A and B are shown apart, each in its own frame.
Chain A
Amino acid sequence: MSMSVDTPDADRWRPYLLGAGLVLASMTLTGLVLLPIGINPISAYVQILKGAFGSLNAVTEDLVYATPIILTSLSVILAFRCGLWNLGSDGQLYLGAIATVGLGFNRFGLPAPALLPAMAIAAFAAGAVWAALPAVLRLRFGASEVIVTIMMNFLAVTIATYLVGGPWASGITPATAPIVPDGFLPVLIPGTRLNANFLVAIAAAAILSFVLRRTVFGYRLRTIGQNIGAARYAGMPVNRIRFLSFACAGGLAGLAGFGEVAGIYHNLPNGLSPGFGYTGIVVALLARLNPLWAVIVAFALAALNVGSGGMQRAMGIPVSLVSIMEAVLILLVLSTRLLERRA
């Protein structure tokens, strides 16, 4: 996929101003949907803002919600940047969560300081492995990673559901048994759910941005994504780089699962991911595949989602309204050629 994301924009701010305009447009359009049901869209949006920023707890909830989305969007960005579609970040997230919970029971009796890092590494590895299969099938056999990664999503959820209902069941809640307290991620602000995985997500974004812009690996990756013929011509090890990138992308999504388990729920519940993977795709596209912008866009979307919970509680409007708004926004973006596919 060759999007004009590496082109040095003479007018760097124009796309983003246009983007802001589109956000307003999509909010208006979605608001129009509410009118026939007899609801005032302005008050709905006000409720969203209140729900998102009305209290310290709300703001930390925004950050909490943003954390997995940042990671899945980075996962998508890393893959997209070398021309591969990672639509499987949801499934990779689940595998990361499964690995986290599995180690989190600490059946092996690891010492306390080693447990959390071990869980993180296992989550990354599990996500990477879950991504490695589609990568191999694509690079070796030419199988469409679009289809394979989506299939792997369904498989991952199936496995997770089985574990929750079967071998790892807690017996009480629709979730697995809890992990040991040594496996809890430290909380950043007491009294909130904001945990250290948020820092992990920010760090990942910074690292990815640096790698893409300033390293040889990143240069090669970008070249592969923009013009694979040129990359081959220059002798770059195309398949090796793509495989590594895709596996790391899976690992990043695995870390998202790690954060949810070790930082929020402390077990693996059914429905762990309300579509973090697909939201990650939306964020990646809106951020034009830029890791740093992805953090900001992820935060914005997270605030929107958290705020919409407040809106639902206050006004009874279902939260799926917000996902419609996201989708309308990106359709508008698509229609303006900001993301035009170039030959």
Chain B
Amino acid sequence: MTLSSLIELSFWIPLLAAGVRVATPLVFASLGEAVSERAGILNVGIEGMMALGAIVGFLVAYWSGHSWVGLLAAAMAGLVASLIFGFLTIFRGADQIVTGIVMNILLLGLSSLAYASIFSSAHVVAQLTAIPVFRVPWLSDLPVIGRPFFAQSPIVYAVYLLIPVFWLLLEHSHWGLSVRAAGENPEAVDSAGINIWYLRLQAVSIGGAMAGLAGAILAVVQIGAYVDGMIAGRGFIALAIVVFGGWRPWRVAAAALLFGVVDAFQLRLQVSGVPIPSPFLIGMPYILTIVVVAFVAGRAGYPAAINKPYPLRHFSRSARKLIPADTAVVHPLPQEHS
């Protein structure tokens, strides 16, 4: 690879295609985390949830023989993990960052343990058959963007559907309105009669399920195997992507694509034998993350209520018993019309 080849499309188109592929798990994780953070829950545990998703997805896909079953199982595993996380942070007032770090330690350890104990006696590294690329008819023949965007594994097309769904969900639905309000002024949401605790739990569950899916995509769809440490910080990079994308689905996806391209770029550089020491190449995504976070931090603002648990109400059991048995749940006042 010479300097002149950098100008040729034959370099950029495959790079873009690789970038889209690398970005896919990042998009999943970031979209989910964006919803969670909009509601006021910062989940640094997505790294661990991705690892959990990777091992669960891999195991289930391996045993069942179907990749999509593995993906489903991974999403559920991520959901369960995020429910634990949500319970501790929403209902027990635990600090979100502390809990997230602990979830990471727990889930990374659990994934490693699971893989080691199940495949410890195996001689061959277990592998899955890769999912074939599906070329969308006509669209994949478009110049420049055809190959990168429309000649990919089907999971990428799922992303194209997910982005507008998340956008509609966050910006144009009642649920999304409540979520956005919950991240800015949780008292207003409570006062409006919404159960803000369950609302936040829902949001964080979406984040967890998406993180689990992201890990499984990495293991099941892209690499076809589980390796200890395979997540390699992508969960934390997703946190930066969410900030960079301003918590808006389209921008988050674009930011993820940027990271994907950069990672694909440094991989190509490594292979091409360019005389740059490996730390700089391998470290590119991490350095980019640092730059992004530093650059955007001043302008962007996390939702105002992030990491501020909303106190539970004092529900005393004795009070419930004192209410007479024939109490109406709702007794609307007499209407004005006769």
Contacts and interface: CB of A to CB of B under 8 A. Distances in A.
Nearest to B42: A146
Interface in B91-120: 92-95, 97-99, 101-106, 109-110, 112-113, 116-117, 120
B303 to A, nearest CB: 14
B268 to A, nearest CB: 18
A143 B297 contact: yes
**Which of A144, A323, A324 has its CB near the most chain B CB atoms (within 10 A)?**
A144
A318 to B, nearest CB: 5
Nearest to B286: A151
A77 B289 CA distance: 26
B274 interface: no
Interface in B110-156: 110, 112-113, 116-117, 120
B270 to A, nearest CB: 12
A323 B239 CA distance: 25
Interface in A147-166: 147-148, 150-152, 154-155, 158-159, 161-162, 166
Contacts of B194: none
Given A321-B113, A324-B113, 15 more contacts: A147-B240, A150-B233, A154-B232, A158-B283, A161-B279, A275-B105, A282-B102, A318-B120, A326-B105, A331-B99, A331-B106, A334-B94, A337-B92, A340-B94, A341-B94
Interface of A: 1, 3, 37, 85, 87, 137, 141-144, 146-148, 150-152, 154-155, 158-159, 161-162, 166, 275, 278, 281-282, 285, 318, 320-321, 323-324, 326-328, 330-331, 334-337, 339-341, 343
B272 to A, nearest CB: 18
Contacts of A335: 87-88, 92, 94
B102 A148 contact: no
B257 interface: no
Interface footprint category on B: 35 or more
Given A37-B117, A278-B105, A339-B98, A320 B112 contact: yes
A320 B116 contact: yes
A147 B239 contact: yes
B298 interface: yes
B109 A285 contact: no
Contact of B278 (A150, A158, A326): A158
Given A330-B102, A339-B98, A151 B289 contact: yes
Contacts of B230: none
A274 B249 CA distance: 37
Interface of B: 44, 84, 87-88, 92-95, 97-99, 101-106, 109-110, 112-113, 116-117, 120, 232-233, 236, 239-240, 243, 277-279, 282-283, 286-287, 289-290, 293-295, 297-298, 307-309
Contacts of A341: 93-95, 307-309
Contacts of A85: 97
A343 B308 contact: yes
Contact of B92 (A282, A323, A327, A340): A340
Secondary structure call for the A interface:
helix
A148 B92 contact: no
B94 A142 contact: no
A137 B243 CA distance: 15
**Which of A318, A337, A341 has its CB near the most chain B CB atoms (within 10 A)?**
A341
Nearest to B99: A334
Nearest to B96: A341
A294 to B, nearest CB: 16
A334 B297 contact: no
A309 B135 CA distance: 51
B44 to A, nearest CB: 6
Nearest to A338: B94
Contacts of A154: 232-233, 283, 286
Contact of B110 (A1, A141, A281, A324): A324
A147 B293 CA distance: 8
A165 B104 CA distance: 29
B151 to A, nearest CB: 32
Given A158-B278, A158-B279, A328-B106, A141 B297 contact: yes
A326 B109 CA distance: 10
Contacts of B232: 154
Nearest to B239: A147
A154 B181 CA distance: 36
Contacts of B99: 331, 334
**Which of B109, B113, B236, B287 has its CB near the most chain A CB atoms (within 10 A)?**
B109
Contacts of B282: 158
A154 B236 CA distance: 11
Nearest to B100: A146
Given A147-B293, A339-B98, A327 B105 contact: yes
A155 B93 contact: no
7 contacts: A1-B98, A137-B293, A278-B104, A282-B105, A318-B113, A320-B112, A328-B106
Contacts of A327: 102-103, 105-106, 109
